[in-house]
Amino acid sequence: MATNKAPGLFSYSNLVHAVAGGCGSAVAMSTLFPLDTVRTRLQLEEGRRKSSILSLLREIYKEEGLAGLYRGLLPVIESLYCSNFVYFYTFHGLKRIANEDKSALRDLLLAMVAGSVNVMTTNPLWVVNTRLKMQGAKVITSQHTATRRYKGMLDGLLRVGREEGVSGLWSGACSSLILTINPAIQFMAYEAMKRQMQTMYKSQELNSLVVFGVGAAAKALATVLTYPIQLVQAKQRHGHNYEGLPQKAGLIPLLLYIMRVHGFKGLFKGLEAKILQTVLTAALMFVCYEKIASIVFAILMGNRKMAVKK
């Protein structure tokens, strides 16, 4: 995908990457949102018996209708667009400044920095997002959030800030900071595999099927390696009813509790749904992102075959 020559963090190139990343993620999530609903339910509903993805989709549709499958879609899209806009802008800006030699290790480090900026900027959105998505669910995980009903993102932000303070808005931020390794691994693997494919096909412009495959493989690797922390992050954002643990329990106590009660496999509860949802979403997001950015760059430069490549 092409870029212009403007250096630094503040450039049209970085803005195009950010807008394309935000739009790509919004399109992908909107397309596959019911899978994200299933993933969230499996992670947070402690009383649920083991269910397949398809059976849970049918159950939610039967008991809650189509609205149940798409509950919380708007706040998810709002949060995801903001999150990916910040992430893509920061990552590509840093890469232009500090990784001209296209080192995979440097991509990893810069992606972690971009992820940290993203977490500290958008974490409150994801706290409210998780709670909005679970409103009306059959099993409420936490007494702490059971009686609360938020009208939307803004109402949720204001109420959480007023009732729980700053710490409530940044619930799970520690786990999220650790989880910057997830998109870091994803982007490092994506950039490395993409460069290999460009060399193999002797072309800077890869077709959509290759981009989809590369994006899926990169996200699958990152998801499996970091899933237990993602599980704990979801519980911190929404709340839990674990006896003997405070609502604001840290990462390690929650990990140890889950292992003690549910065993090692408890750390991977809902992984199947997460893999299916996140891999397909990430792969589709990368396809949309590459296409949107290429088109915008072509329009800006007035030539679809620009000499300067990413």
Amino acid at 42: L
Instruction: State which residues of the chain have pLDDT below 70.
Output: 1-10, 45-50, 136-148, 238-241, 244, 246-248, 301-310
Per-residue model confidence as pLDDT tens digits over 42-68: 777 666 666 778 888 998 899 888 888
Per-residue model confidence as pLDDT tens digits over 64-76: 888 888 888 888 8
Q: How many CB atoms lie within 10 A of CB 121?
A: 15
pTM of structure? 0.69
CATH fold of 12-301 reads Mitochondrial carrier fold (1.50.40)
Q: What's residue 275's pLDDT?
A: 85
Q: What's residue 6's pLDDT?
A: 45
Q: What's residue 126's pLDDT?
A: 87
Per-residue model confidence as pLDDT tens digits over 189-230: 888 899 899 899 888 888 889 999 999 999 899 998 888 888
Q: What's residue 274's pLDDT?
A: 81
CA distance 54 to 273: 10
**Residue 206 main-chain phi, psi, to 5 deg:** -90, 150
Q: What's residue 141's pLDDT?
A: 47
CA distance 69 to 182: 26
Q: Where are the domains of the chain?
A: 12-301
Q: What's residue 3's pLDDT?
A: 44
Q: What's residue 86's pLDDT?
A: 92
Q: What's residue 165's pLDDT?
A: 86
